[in-house]
A and B are shown apart, each in its own frame.
Chain A
Amino acid sequence: MATVTVPEEKKIDESPAAPAEPKPTTITLRISRVNPSENAEAKFEEFKVPVQKWTTVLETILHVKEKLDHSVAVRYSCRQASCGSCGMKINGKPRLACYTKISELESNVVTVEPMNNFQIIRDLAVNFEQLFSTHKKMKPFIINEESEVQPGTKEFIQTPQDLEKFLQFSYCIKCGLCNSACPTMATDKSFVGPQGLAQAYRYTADNRDKGKEDRLKIVDQSHGIWRCHFAGSCSNVCPKGVDPAMAIQLLRGYLLGFRK
């Protein structure tokens, strides 16, 4: 017969205390405030916000909204660089607020502004209408009459190598940071932009797709692919490693006859 021994009551070791949480430091968060419906000029409002070394810019903005001024307009959703909602200019450079830690900015003053080259809705929230409409113009879907869903047709087989040709570009979360950093977008309101061009390549490079000629015709316009001069700013700011500059040059290779 098995015997069960009841363990003696353990004494809780109370001697060494767990290391205390580091004290938060305080930074100055400068938020650009503008309300176009009131026809007001943009101005900066400053807030003192406590931060830890892991605090993100989005968290500081949400702290302001919660504790200091609830009227700050900001768009956000997933808080993990997946939805592409919280793009803004942070200390002069387009970044995702949820993906940028205060500690990596190495400054006690953090300035947040709405992304350039997008219409301002209010404060930090911008209008994505142009980005979405150019994205749609690039026909962001597989064009193939022998669709997989037709009865009696076979599935499309893709090797890992086939997948690798476009996978990177399909990680685009449409955050708009690339369009905000692009020097051509700074002055050319008709330019397709790096986001749209990269997506045109994403589908063109997919071996299931038969819409290459259609897409090349769309981008071969006076405000299309040729207005990219490979300044690389789009790839410099992309938070997902999409590398739009590479996609654009590869797409242009088709038009120059370097690629088939």
Chain B
Amino acid sequence: MAERLSNREGIRGMINPTRYGILRVAYWLQRLSGLGLLAYLIGHIYETSTILNGKTAWANMLSLTETPGGHIVLVIVIGMCVFHTGNGIRVMISEGGKGVGKPGQPEYPYRASSLNSKQRLCIWVSIALAALAMMYGAGVLFGN
């Protein structure tokens, strides 16, 4: 009851990337890619540990991961990695107070200078780089 009355949007509101512009989309993608990369890291560490069980165990693991499905997962991981890096660097620089504009007298219609074109460009560049890296990765993986 108390939780309902607090009227918090909850997880559904937090993960909703619409309504508030590209920075909110970037926030959502950053979280999603971060969780995906952590899952991959855990999987990758388990995957590589099979080398301790000998050549056959390693070959068995490769037969699972070196498949079209495994390659698609890897291509997605490449995309997440590049976007998380690019956007992460943007966020890091911004969180230091750089690139968010200068305080001044707000003028109607009050466009926030922290949501400036540089920020938006960096996000689009991160997305574009992720797409390029995915295409290159797909070429390498499926070209073999």
Direct contact of A and B (CB under 8 A): yes
Binding site for B on A (CB under 8 A): 36, 39, 92-93, 114-120, 126, 164-169, 171, 181, 183-187, 189, 205, 229-233, 235-243, 245-247, 249-253, 256, 258-259
Which residues from chain B contact A240 at a C-beta distance below 8 Å? 106, 110
Please report the total number of B residues contacting A with Cβ < 8 Å. Answer: 39
Query: Known pairs A183-B27, A186-B10, A249-B114. 18 more at Cβ < 8 A?
Result: A117-B7, A117-B9, A119-B5, A120-B5, A126-B7, A165-B103, A181-B20, A183-B14, A187-B11, A229-B27, A232-B114, A241-B106, A241-B111, A243-B103, A243-B113, A249-B94, A250-B97, A252-B97
Judge if B21 is at the interface, Cβ distance under 8 Å. Answer: yes
User: In the docked arrangement, what's the CA distance between A93 and B9, Å?
Assistant: 12
- From B1, B20, B104, B107, contact of A232 by CB (8 A): B20
Given A167-B103, A249-B114, are A186 and B13 also a contact pair (CB < 8 Å)?
yes
Judge if B71 is at the interface, Cβ distance under 8 Å. Answer: no
- B7 near A115: Cβ-Cβ < 8 Å: yes
- B7 near A118: Cβ-Cβ < 8 Å: yes
User: In the docked arrangement, what's the CA distance between A245 and B94, Å?
Assistant: 10
User: In the docked arrangement, what's the CA distance between A166 and B24, Å?
Assistant: 25
- From A166, A187, A256, contact of B14 by CB (8 A): A187
- From A187, A238, A243, A258, contact of B96 by CB (8 A): A258
User: In the docked arrangement, what's the CA distance between A116 and B6, Å?
Assistant: 8
Could you give 27 example pairs across A and B, Cβ below 8 Å?
A36-B5, A92-B19, A116-B7, A166-B103, A168-B105, A186-B9, A186-B11, A186-B13, A187-B10, A229-B27, A229-B91, A231-B20, A231-B24, A231-B26, A231-B27, A232-B20, A233-B23, A235-B115, A236-B24, A241-B110, A241-B112, A243-B103, A243-B112, A250-B97, A250-B103, A253-B96, A256-B97
- From A239, A241, A252, contact of B95 by CB (8 A): A252
Measured between C-beta atoms, what is the minimum distance from A171 to chain B in Å? 7
User: In the docked arrangement, what's the CA distance between A115 and B7, Å?
Assistant: 8
User: In the docked arrangement, what's the CA distance between A238 and B8, Å?
Assistant: 19
Judge if B101 is at the interface, Cβ distance under 8 Å. Answer: yes
Judge if B61 is at the interface, Cβ distance under 8 Å. Answer: no
Which residues from chain A contact B8 at a C-beta distance below 8 Å? 116-117, 185-187, 189
- A233 near B20: Cβ-Cβ < 8 Å: yes
- B7 near A256: Cβ-Cβ < 8 Å: no
- Binary contact readout B88-123 vs A (1 if CB under 8 angstroms, 0 otherwise): 000100111110110111111011111100010000
- In chain B, what residue has the closest Cβ to A117? B8
Judge if B33 is at the interface, Cβ distance under 8 Å. Answer: no
User: In the docked arrangement, what's the CA distance between A190 and B129, Å?
Assistant: 37
- From B91, B106, B113, contact of A230 by CB (8 A): B91
- In chain A, what residue has the closest Cβ to B23? A232
- In chain B, what residue has the closest Cβ to A166? B103
Given A117-B9, A165-B103, A185-B8, are A249 and B20 also a contact pair (CB < 8 Å)?
no
Measured between C-beta atoms, what is the minimum distance from A229 to chain B in Å? 5
Given A93-B19, A116-B8, A187-B11, are A246 and B113 also a contact pair (CB < 8 Å)?
yes
Judge if B126 is at the interface, Cβ distance under 8 Å. Answer: no
Measured between C-beta atoms, what is the minimum distance from A239 to chain B in Å? 7
User: In the docked arrangement, what's the CA distance between A237 and B24, Å?
Assistant: 12
Which residues from chain A contact B30 at a C-beta distance below 8 Å? 229
User: In the docked arrangement, what's the CA distance between A43 and B48, Å?
Assistant: 55
- B106 near A168: Cβ-Cβ < 8 Å: yes
